[in-house]
């Protein structure tokens, strides 16, 4: 009998009341490695009740003390880094170094939250009028929630719950049901760090739980990361129910390679950004755009042998460059898209469709694929593939290259590789994409800046982490005060002015 993974409610692991179990697979073997207890609405209500009871006392704690919990949490994350990475890789399939990177990028947001007191400061104006002072303060919303994806089971939950909790809220996390172990481990570490029971609850489930979160009257705000269709659904339903909602969806990230670029540097960047984590990253580079035929030919000449040499295997294989896809269904979808690219007339320069990893023949592996001469009407260009597939779309000149990301429906990330400062400055100014790299292939901002895409990659007014996270999980209260000093103005029926 496989182990049963439950929930974390009220400071302890529980199996819930639904009795429904879903398999958790090992992506490298295709075999079931655990059973996940799926929550029902009673389980969700239990979590919200625990959160509601614990939140007022947590909010009343001064922000320095809340920050100290995150100081200890960061220490514990470092202590258990290997254990977290092992659990993450076993369920997701990514390599151990990549899994540690997943944890570290979440840890950096926890570090930022140590300074919660700074982020919770309001403003003050003395003497705004005769004897009148005005000040503002940031206050938590109460109980808030996050719905997070499979591809970063440590990082994105921490991006959501760390600032929310540091700001004085209680949090309900609904992580992906495909790799549920690490979020539970994170909740236990926060409890060990001194977080009161009930402030962070982890509820595993499917659409029943998602809709329950969207409709629950006691949940004030929801953060989501996932596909664009689901992001639109959550944003629409959550807003209709009067909640504050931020949703981040899909991506189609371009990397423009100018003729003057360091071509070896560009190839190194494309290899890591295009094929790392088997392409299962919303910030993966999936379209390379060389400018001019000479640059395109030089790029392909260097890129093709590097892609052919990529090593694919389970996370236990120390020299593996990337591992399997998360599910058999994800593998089949990627293979179907590659087939469609061939049928549409793109040149499949490297074909990884027939890859078989010895000893792991039933795993969800797809070898690295490289397309050349990709055009905008092809499905491999239009759709987010979320697999180890890089498309090269040649552009005649800079303006033609710029139009590709500008006219794409997504606006998550984009990069330009060039030695020309004028070109880089023009690009960063004009491009309608939320995160921009100059000679940087994956322009994910550090924790004290904010992360968020434009167009159909992001829904809502505020981004993730940085100052925006504290703005999203708090509301501003503004106080206008006057202490009478023997002044008697009498009644005034006009709108107050200064």
Q: What positions carry a catalytic annotation? A: 282
Classified as helix, coil or strand, 145 is: strand
Q: Which residues contact 371 (CB under 8 A, 6 or more apart)?
A: 341, 346, 347, 348, 349, 380, 389, 390, 391, 392
Of 143, 218, 208, the residue nearest 173 (C-alpha):
143
Please state the φ and ψ torsions of residue 122, each to the nearest 5 degrees.
-100, -155
Spatial strand order in the sheet of 12-14: 12-14, 7-9, 200-202, 170-174, 143-147, 221-225, 244-248, 458-459
Of 265, 348, 337, 355, the residue nearest 304 (C-alpha):
348
The CB density around residue 127, as the number of other CB atoms within 10 Å, is: 10
β-bridge partners, 132: 129, 482
Q: Which residues contact 149 (CB under 8 A, 6 or more apart)?
A: 156, 176, 225, 226
Is 126 in contact with 479 (CB distance < 8 Å)?
no
Cα–Cα distance measured from residue 31 to residue 138, given in angstroms and rounded to the nearest whole number: 49
Name the one residue in this structure whose structure tokens are 């009407």. Answer: 377
Angle at 221 between CA 77 and CA 480, to 5 degrees: 105
Cα–Cα distance measured from residue 113 to residue 474, given in angstroms and rounded to the nearest whole number: 14
Q: Which residues contact 437 (CB under 8 A, 6 or more apart)?
A: 255, 413, 414, 415, 416, 443
- The encoded tokens of residue 473 equal 């999980």
Q: Which residues contact 60 (CB under 8 A, 6 or more apart)?
A: none
- The encoded tokens of residue 57 equal 């006392």
Is 414 in contact with 433 (CB distance < 8 Å)?
yes
Is 260 in contact with 418 (CB distance < 8 Å)?
yes
Of 432, 429, 472, the residue nearest 450 (C-alpha):
472
């Amino acid at each position: 009998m496989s182990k049963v993974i439950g929930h974390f409610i009220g400071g302890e692991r529980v199996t819930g009341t639904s009795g429904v179990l879903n398999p958790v697979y090992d992506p490298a073997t295709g075999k079931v490695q655990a059973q996940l207890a799926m929550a029902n609405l009673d389980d969700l209500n239990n979590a919200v009740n625990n959160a509601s009871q614990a939140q007022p006392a947590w909010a009343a704690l001064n922000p320095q003390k809340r920050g100290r919990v995150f100081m200890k949490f960061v220490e514990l994350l470092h202590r258990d880094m290997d254990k977290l990475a092992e659990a993450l890789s076993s369920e997701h399939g990514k390599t151990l170094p990549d899994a540690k990177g997943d944890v570290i990028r979440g840890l950096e947001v926890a570090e930022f939250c140590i300074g919660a007191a700074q982020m919770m400061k309001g403003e003050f104006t003395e003497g705004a009028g005769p004897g009148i002072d005005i000040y503002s303060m940031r206050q938590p919303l109460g109980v808030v929630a996050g719905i997070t994806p499979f591809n970063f089971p440590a990082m994105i939950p921490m991006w959501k719950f760390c600032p929310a909790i540091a700001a004085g809220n209680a949090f309900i996390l609904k992580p992906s049901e495909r790799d549920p172990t690490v979020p539970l481990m994170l909740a236990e570490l926060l409890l060990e760090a001194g977080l009161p029971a009930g402030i962070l609850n982890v509820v595993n489930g499917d659409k029943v739980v998602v809709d329950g979160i969207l409709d629950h009257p006691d949940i004030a705000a929801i953060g989501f990361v996932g596909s664009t269709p689901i992001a639109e659904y959550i944003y629409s339903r959550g807003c209709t129910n009067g909640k504050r909602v931020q949703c981040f969806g899909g991506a189609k990230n371009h990397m423009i390679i100018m003729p003057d670029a360091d071509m070896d540097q560009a190839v190194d960047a494309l290899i890591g950004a295009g094929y790392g984590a088997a392409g299962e990253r919303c910030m993966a580079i999936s379209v390379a755009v060389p400018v001019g035929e000479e640059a395109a030919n030089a790029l392909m000449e260097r890129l093709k042998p590097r892609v052919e040499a990529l090593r694919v295997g389970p996370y236990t294989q120390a020299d593996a460059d990337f591992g399997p896809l998360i599910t058999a269904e994800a593998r089949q979808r990627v293979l179907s898209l590659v087939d469609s690219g061939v049928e549409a007339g793109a040149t499949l320069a490297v074909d990884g469709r027939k890859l078989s990893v010895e000893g792991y023949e039933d795993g969800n592996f797809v070898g690295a694929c490289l397309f050349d001469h990709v055009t905008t009407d092809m499905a491999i260009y239009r759709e987010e593939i979320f697999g180890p597939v890089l498309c090269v779309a040649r552009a005649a000149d800079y303006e033609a290259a710029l139009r590709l990301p500008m006219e794409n429906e997504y606006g998550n990330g984009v990069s330009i590789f060039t030695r020309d400062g004028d070109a880089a400055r023009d690009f960063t100014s004009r491009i309608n994409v939320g995160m921009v790299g100059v000679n940087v292939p994956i322009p994910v901002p550090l924790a004290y800046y904010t992360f968020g895409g434009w167009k159909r990659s992001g829904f809502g007014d505020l981004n993730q982490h940085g100052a925006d996270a504290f703005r999203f999980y708090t509301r501003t209260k503004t106080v206008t005060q006057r202490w009478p000093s023997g002044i008697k103005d009498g009644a005034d029926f006009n709108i107050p002015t200064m």
